Amino acid sequence: MHELSVTQSVLEIALRHAERAGARRITRLNLVIGELASIVDDSVQFYWDFVSRDTIAAGATLHFERVPGTLRCLACSHTFPLNGRDYACPVCGEKRVIAAGGDDFRLESIEVE
Amino acid sequence: MAIQVPVVEQILSANDQLAAANRARLDAAGVFALNVMASPGAGKTSLIMRTVERLRAEFRIGAVDGDIATTIDADRIASLGVPTVQINTGGACHLDAVMLQSALPRLPLEELDLLVVENVGNLVCPASFKLGVHRDVLIASVPEGDDKPYKYPVMYRGVDALVLNKMDVLAAFDFDVDYFRRGVEALNPGLAFFPLSCKTREGLEVWLSWLREQMRI
CB–CB of A97 and B186 under 8 A?
yes
| Rama region for B81: left / alpha / beta (φ>0; ψ in -120 to 50; rest) | left
As a whole number of angstroms, the distance between CA A98 and CA B15 comes to 27
Residue of B nearest to A100 (CA): B187
Contact present, B79 and B73 (Cβ < 8 Å): no
CA distance B162 to chain A (A): 17
Cβ neighbours, 10 Å, residue A68: 12
- The helix or strand, by DSSP H or E, that contains position A60, with its residue range, turns out to be none
Asked if ipTM goes beyond 0.90, one says: no
CB–CB of B125 and A9 under 8 A?
no
Chain A residues touching residue B92 (CB < 8 angstroms): 1-2
Our CA dihedral for A34, A87, B125, B158, rounded to 10 degrees, sits at -90
Write out the DSSP string of chain B.
Answer: --EEEEEEEETTHHHHHHHHHHHHHHHHHT-EEEEEEESTTSSHHHHHHHHHHHHTTTS-EEEEEEESS-SHHHHHHHTTT--EEEEE-TT-SS--HHHHHHHGGGS-GGG-SEEEEE--S-SSGGGG-----SEEEEEEEGGG-TTHHHHSHHHHHS-SEEEEE-GGGGGGS---HHHHHHHHHHHSTT-EEEE--TTT-TTHHHHHHHHHHHHH-
A1: pLDDT strictly greater than 60: no
Residue of B nearest to A82 (CA): B150
CB–CB of A21 and B3 under 8 A?
yes
In the prediction, which pLDDT does B128 show?
Answer: 84
pLDDT digits (tens, 9 = 90+) for A45-85: 989 999 999 999 999 999 999 998 899 998 999 999 887 67
Write out the DSSP string of A67-99.
Answer: E--EEEETTT--EEE--SS----TTT----EEE
CB–CB of A105 and B11 under 8 A?
yes
Contact present, B18 and A13 (Cβ < 8 Å): no
- pTM listed for this prediction: 0.83
CB–CB of B157 and A96 under 8 A?
no
The pairing of strands A79-81 and A70-73 is antiparallel
CA distance A80 to chain B (A): 13
B159: pLDDT strictly greater than 90: yes
Nearest to A17 among B7, B15, B94 (CB): B7
Residue of A nearest to B91 (CA): A1
pLDDT digits (tens, 9 = 90+) for B58-95: 999 999 999 888 889 999 999 999 999 999 887 778 89
Residue whose C-alpha is closest to residue B38's, from B172, B136, B134, B108: B136
Distances (CA, A) of A55 to A63, B12, B204: 18, 21, 54
CB–CB of B5 and A86 under 8 A?
no
DSSP state of A24: S
Backbone angles phi, psi at B6, to 5 degrees: -70, 140
Chain B residues touching residue A2 (CB < 8 angstroms): 92-94, 125, 128-129
Residue in A29, A64, A71, A107 to test binding to B, most B beta-carbons within 10 Å: A107
Residue in A7, A9, A41, A71 to test binding to B, most B beta-carbons within 10 Å: A9
pLDDT digits (tens, 9 = 90+) for B173-182: 999 999 999 9
Mean pLDDT (whole number) for B103-114 = 97
Mean pLDDT (whole number) for A32-43 = 85
Is A110 strand, coil or helix? strand
